[in-house]
A and B are shown apart, each in its own frame.
Chain A
Amino acid sequence: MTDTQRPPAAPATPADAADAARLVSFGLQPKISPARDAEYGGLLRRYQEEPPFARLADAVAAGLGLVVLEVSPRAGMAVAAAEDSVFAVRMGEYARRAATETADRFLHGLAHLAVAALAFPRPADLADDGYIGRVTVAGVEAFVRQACHRLAERAAAQGENTDPATDAPGLEAAWRVWSRRTATGATKDARRLAGSTTGIIGKAVAFLADAGFLQRTGDDAGGTYRTTARYQLQVRELAASSAMAELLALGVVPVGDGSGSLVPPTDDDALGLVPDAGLPFHG
């Protein structure tokens, strides 16, 4: 991108600034693809070919409180909201109950994390630009529930009493909050029970689909979705690192060797028809 050979370019005109802002505004509409929109495609090429224009567009984005993740024909102008930006989504606006109830706040956040974890099960999937993840609402629900179930079994095997103290609900183990919540529920008007875990995941994927991060491909298993390049970028470049930093701040140091932890079970585990044989969770 460093282009020192070019003679000093003409100073940016208001028209250039308008074009740069227009490119950023395309970036804010993730459902528009540069392959389908001629104007978007043109501006994108200009960004890649003219460094002064690229710097101008970056400055516009930064001024609006946006972080430019990538500019490519694949992902378009991929921008993300910086912290405290007007474009950031706040949990309290996202779900009303989450504003007051810690458990609900946690469940909504965990649902988003679980969607990403199942969409990119191996570390390599997250790194591979061509990878397209597929998730279903029911699949995510079962995935988390089984992870919780496994922790419950492990706690039981170690003879731990995981029931939380009545006067300290905040010390309850996180997995219990999920396994306690009902998976689904009948409602009078045949809609999803909003407070159930399926309802919470359904809200998360619908929200992500609305933001252009997922694409709905069918209605099976509560709704099937595939990931977009922007979702992969956002998870890889921003979400994973910031959540990991927060986890490290809690004193938890997860060690990974890059091979992924969703691995085949050992033969000892798989022998016989023990309950939940063949779980994707080992280690």
Chain B
Amino acid sequence: MTAAAPPERTPPGPLQPLGRPAPGPAADEGLARRLRALACTAPLHDLDVRKANLAGEYSTYSMAEVALAAIDAITLAMDFDTGADHERVVGRLLPRVAAQAPGRPTAEHERVARWVLDNLINVGSVDRGFRAVYGTFGPEGAYVRRDYDFKLIEEVPGPGGGVWLRTTDEAVNVLVGALDTDVTSAQIAAEVKLDVLIARGRLADAQLAAEQARYRTVQYAETLRRTLESTRRDVRAVDWLHAVPDMIDEALAHIADRYRHENAILTNIRRARDEATATGHKLRAAELVDIVKDCIRRHTQLQSRLLEAGPLFRAEQDRQAFRPPAARAGTDLYGQLLAPLLTQPVERAVRVTDAWFARATGPRPPGAVRLTDLTELLLTPPVPREHLGAELPEPDLVATPDDSRFTEEQLTAALDLLRLPEDAPRRLSGLLADARRRDPELPHLVALLAVHAASPAVGTAYRQGEPRLLFAVDDGAQLTDDPDIGGADLVVGTALLDAAGMAAERTEGTA
């Protein structure tokens, strides 16, 4: 397939026969993979682009940084059978958000953290995921646009009916990359590296390695969790004679090994911590101790889960295994219906699910409405709800004095003055003189309105469907003879907004 690529790069004058119009699928596949990887980062970039749309001044916040911190926090909080709690993740983000804009109120920090988290989940969409479109060449050389759907943070049901957050593989790959390797060997490598680094006293590197080791530990626990969950669901699904005991033994041996290893590292770091003289070294070593302790805690947790698995399997086996074989064979609902169905295009599959739905739901007696019942129903007062919550206290309202600089009449007069015909713009100086004749206070307001019109909100006016818009342009002339107000003698005029034209050339609306 790659042999066809070089002639493709130099197109000769006459058209080539359409045998190989594009690089083969193999070359394209790599491209598609990279496009998808690129797409995974898009939501993070998008956050910083879209923060301008938030009502308020949020440009000081670095949203992508908060987002990465959120993915970090969730990945670390992912436990054996739970994910991260929504509120706690927000709590973990607050210090970072607060550090980005120390002067802002805490409520705003919390709003930013929630906004980032909601956008990473993509709360607005029904799938709660993201979609990127990219193009590939098919085997026949046809160019096909495809949808790539992915999630960064997914919401999973937790024990007790709660909703937990877990980071997806895509997110973990975006976060640390290259985690897509054999877990066991990668972990051994990381620990050997850690040992060496500590021995040489390079604690900064050691901390990085230890943190990576912890990510791997989390990923490892996640793999085991999924394994156990699926085996727990159906006893027949697993080979109880060989595979499961082997797997448990293997995992226990692995844990024992890691436990020894990490305890050794712990001893080493403790010594490094106590012997270190520089404050930075001491602090790093102390952090390392925490990280390794966390690793050990996770291993212990994993171990207890593994020990519980045995009795559970036996109980399930007792429940399910000793039942007499049935006389006749039924339909294999999974193998003959569900599994083949899932491979079909949704357009065709929906016919099968429709047929199932029509026949697998019981008869439902239709309601027969009698007018007398309906009248009674409509006249019945609603049943008072029992749980209405605490009674609201009567708000204590204090009338605030009206301390506006200008009155409503003055505003009306000023706006009246500025209602200029669209083909006759005027100088600010003339408007100020007119205003002064009406009311000595009015020029100030007119000047303010004119300055405000120097940068009109065209987009907003367009969205709100306003037909006309006040604008002001500075052509260099100065206000010279005004007693109160100085600065540029603006040219003030009215622009008519053309809805159809605006749609096409939105950006040129100020001209």
Which residues of A does B touch, CB under 8 Å?
28, 30, 66, 79-81, 83, 85-89, 91, 94, 102-103, 105-106, 108-110, 112-114, 116-117, 120-128, 131, 138-139, 141-144, 146-148, 151, 159, 161, 163-167, 169-178, 180-186, 195-196, 198, 207-208, 211-213, 219, 221-222, 230, 234-236, 238-247, 249-250, 252, 254-256, 258, 260-265, 267, 270-273, 275-281, 283
Report how far A143 CA is from B234 CA in the complex, Å: 10
Of the listed residues B29, B163, B324, B330, the one surrounded by the most CB atoms of chain A closer than 10 A to its CB is B330
Report how far A270 CA is from B247 CA in the complex, Å: 8
Report how far A260 CA is from B346 CA in the complex, Å: 25
A246 touches B347 (CB 8 A): no
B350 at the interface (CB under 8 A from A): yes
B358 touches A165 (CB 8 A): no
A273-B183 CB under 8 A given contacts A85-B363, A239-B356: yes
Which of A87, A105, A128, A180 is in CB contact (< 8 Å) with B354?
A105
Q: Which residue of B lies closest to A207 (CB)?
A: B361
B315 at the interface (CB under 8 A from A): no
Q: Which residue of B lies closest to A171 (CB)?
A: B345
B155 touches A185 (CB 8 A): yes
Report how far A103 CA is from B156 CA in the complex, Å: 21
Which of A116, A125, A244 is in CB contact (< 8 Å) with B336?
A244
B401 at the interface (CB under 8 A from A): no
> Given the complex, which residues of A lie within 8 Å of B338, measured CB to CB?
110, 113-114, 117, 144, 147
B70 CB, nearest partner CB in chain A, Å: 15
> Given the complex, which residues of A lie within 8 Å of B148, measured CB to CB?
163
Instruction: Please provide the 6 A-B residue pairs with the shortest distance between their CB atoms, ordered closest to farther.
Output: A109-B353, A261-B335, A126-B330, A280-B237, A270-B243, A170-B347
B339 touches A281 (CB 8 A): yes
A243-B332 CB under 8 A given contacts A278-B230, A278-B237, A278-B247: no
B15 CB, nearest partner CB in chain A, Å: 26
Report how far A112 CA is from B352 CA in the complex, Å: 12
15 contacts between A and B (CB under 8 A): A81-B363, A110-B341, A113-B341, A121-B334, A127-B329, A163-B146, A182-B155, A185-B123, A254-B335, A256-B331, A264-B240, A265-B237, A275-B226, A279-B237, A281-B339
Which residues of B from 343 to 382 have beta carbons under 8 Å from A? Answer: 343-366
B330 touches A125 (CB 8 A): yes
Of the listed residues B29, B226, B228, B353, the one surrounded by the most CB atoms of chain A closer than 10 A to its CB is B353
Q: Which residue of A lies closest to B169 (CB)?
A: A275
Which residues of B from 174 to 198 have beta carbons under 8 Å from A? Answer: 183-184
> Given the complex, which residues of A lie within 8 Å of B326, measured CB to CB?
124-125, 127-128, 131
A275 touches B223 (CB 8 A): yes
> Given the complex, which residues of B lie within 8 Å of A89, measured CB to CB?
357-358, 361-362, 364
Report how far A265 CA is from B345 CA in the complex, Å: 28
Of the listed residues A66, A208, A270, the one surrounded by the most CB atoms of chain B closer than 10 A to its CB is A270
> Given the complex, which residues of A lie within 8 Å of B251, measured CB to CB?
273
B362 touches A121 (CB 8 A): no
Report how far A83 CA is from B361 CA in the complex, Å: 12
Known: A105-B354, A212-B362, A256-B336. 10 other contacts (CB 8 A): A94-B357, A142-B230, A151-B342, A163-B148, A165-B147, A182-B127, A252-B344, A270-B243, A278-B228, A280-B237
B183 touches A174 (CB 8 A): no
A246 touches B128 (CB 8 A): no
B293 at the interface (CB under 8 A from A): no
Report how far A236 CA is from B329 CA in the complex, Å: 11
A14 CB, nearest partner CB in chain B, Å: 22
B154 at the interface (CB under 8 A from A): yes
Which residues of B from 112 to 171 have beta carbons under 8 Å from A? Answer: 121, 123, 126-129, 133-134, 136, 144-149, 151, 154-157, 161, 163
> Given the complex, which residues of B lie within 8 Å of A267, measured CB to CB?
239, 242-243
B323 CB, nearest partner CB in chain A, Å: 7
A174-B343 CB under 8 A given contacts A121-B334, A126-B330: yes
> Given the complex, which residues of A lie within 8 Å of B437, measured CB to CB?
none
B37 CB, nearest partner CB in chain A, Å: 14
> Given the complex, which residues of B lie within 8 Å of A262, measured CB to CB?
234, 236-237, 334-335
A198 touches B157 (CB 8 A): yes
B236 touches A159 (CB 8 A): no
A172 touches B239 (CB 8 A): no
Which of A108, A230, A241 is in CB contact (< 8 Å) with B362?
A230
Q: Which residue of A lies closest to B125 (CB)?
A: A182
B346 touches A109 (CB 8 A): no
B224 touches A273 (CB 8 A): yes
A31 CB, nearest partner CB in chain B, Å: 10
B327 touches A127 (CB 8 A): yes
A109 touches B154 (CB 8 A): no
B337 touches A247 (CB 8 A): yes
> Given the complex, which residues of A lie within 8 Å of B347, measured CB to CB?
102, 170-171
B86 at the interface (CB under 8 A from A): yes
> Given the complex, which residues of B lie within 8 Å of A151, measured CB to CB?
342-343
Report how far A175 CA is from B238 CA in the complex, Å: 23
A174 touches B333 (CB 8 A): no
B32 at the interface (CB under 8 A from A): yes
A174 touches B342 (CB 8 A): yes
> Given the complex, which residues of A lie within 8 Å of B231, measured CB to CB?
278
Q: Which residue of A lies closest to B126 (CB)?
A: A195
Which of B127, B157, B238, B324 is in CB contact (< 8 Å) with A138?
B157
B32 touches A180 (CB 8 A): no
B101 at the interface (CB under 8 A from A): no
A86-B366 CB under 8 A given contacts A109-B356, A240-B331: yes
B363 touches A283 (CB 8 A): no
Report how far A105 CA is from B346 CA in the complex, Å: 10
Report how far A142 CA is from B233 CA in the complex, Å: 9
A264 touches B237 (CB 8 A): yes
B340 at the interface (CB under 8 A from A): yes
> Given the complex, which residues of A lie within 8 Å of B359, measured CB to CB?
80, 234, 238-239, 242-243
Report how far A76 CA is from B184 CA in the complex, Å: 57
A124-B335 CB under 8 A given contacts A102-B346, A173-B344, A234-B362: no
B378 CB, nearest partner CB in chain A, Å: 22
A83-B342 CB under 8 A given contacts A109-B353, A183-B155, A184-B163: no
Which of B29, B183, B356, B363 is in CB contact (< 8 Å) with A87?
B363
Report how far A185 CA is from B123 CA in the complex, Å: 8
B155 touches A165 (CB 8 A): no
B466 at the interface (CB under 8 A from A): no
B129 CB, nearest partner CB in chain A, Å: 6
> Given the complex, which residues of B lie within 8 Å of A175, measured CB to CB?
342-343
B251 CB, nearest partner CB in chain A, Å: 7
A172 touches B340 (CB 8 A): no
